Amino acid sequence: MHDIEPWWGWRDEYMAENDKKSPFHGCTYDEFNFSNKIYNYLIHPQWDYFGSETLYGKLLFVNYAKHFAVVELIGEWNDALYNDIMFLKREFADILNKNKIYKFAIICEHVLNFHGDDDCYYEEWYDDIKDDRGWVCLINTYDHVCNEMSKYRLHHYVNFGERYNNLPWRTVKPNHLLDMVEQIMNNPIKLRL
């Protein structure tokens, strides 16, 4: 896992450590010292610790004018033992929401497992953003992770699943990703006959 870096392709447009409104403003990164771990596995030092022992993230992009943020995650999303959603909500979403960010694209292709528990933080996040036509969308989530999330009824508060998987987000600019996600949300599901 130590060689999996957060996406770097948008750094010419946004760097969280340079954004005074970012929860990671002023962070510095040592490319040679690997100290963060998920269980016994070292991870790349570019990933940001936000309180969880099993899940790390990177704020890849924020557009304050369009109220939009992209976050990439790595690790195991474990609400049952570590209440990871609380950390994600408090240390990412709440801070960004205070700065009028209501649309969250969360890249989950490095989230290897999900262990659910209560859905209260998901409901709270949904309530915080719904009046501003906001949303949370999990992109490129593994099928077994989606299945576990569905068991805990998270689809009532968060968009995820087949419609949002296989999005080529690295090949587009971040604002185009916003357009892609909203186009999927605004098109009704086509029934298969």
- Residue 1: per-residue pLDDT: 65
pLDDT digits (tens, 9 = 90+) for 108-121: 999 999 999 999 99
- Residue 30: per-residue pLDDT: 83
Q: How confident is the model at residue 177 (pLDDT cuts 50, 70, 90)?
A: very high
Q: How confident is the model at residue 189 (pLDDT cuts 50, 70, 90)?
A: low
pLDDT digits (tens, 9 = 90+) for 82-97: 999 999 999 999 999 9
Whether 191 has a pLDDT exceeding 60, the answer reads no
Mean pLDDT of the chain: 94
Report the share of the chain in percent with pLDDT over 90: 87
* Domain residue ranges in the chain: 16-35+42-167
Section 27-39 average pLDDT: 85
Section 39-56 average pLDDT: 93
Whether 28 has a pLDDT exceeding 70, the answer reads yes
Section 134-145 average pLDDT: 98
Per residue, what are the HEC states of the chain? CCCCCCCCCCCCCCCHHHCCCCCCCCCCCCCCCCCCEECCEECCCCCECCCCCCEEEEEEEEECCCCEEEEEEEEEEEHHHHCHHHHHHHHHHHHHHHCCCCEEEEEEEEEEEEECCCCHHHHHHHHHHHCCCCEEEEECCCHHHHHHHHHCCHHHCCECCHHHCCCCHHHCCHHHHHHHHHHHHHCCCCCCC
- Residue 193: per-residue pLDDT: 36
What superfamily would CATH give domain 16-35+42-167?
Answer: STAS domain (3.30.750.24)
pTM of the model: 0.94
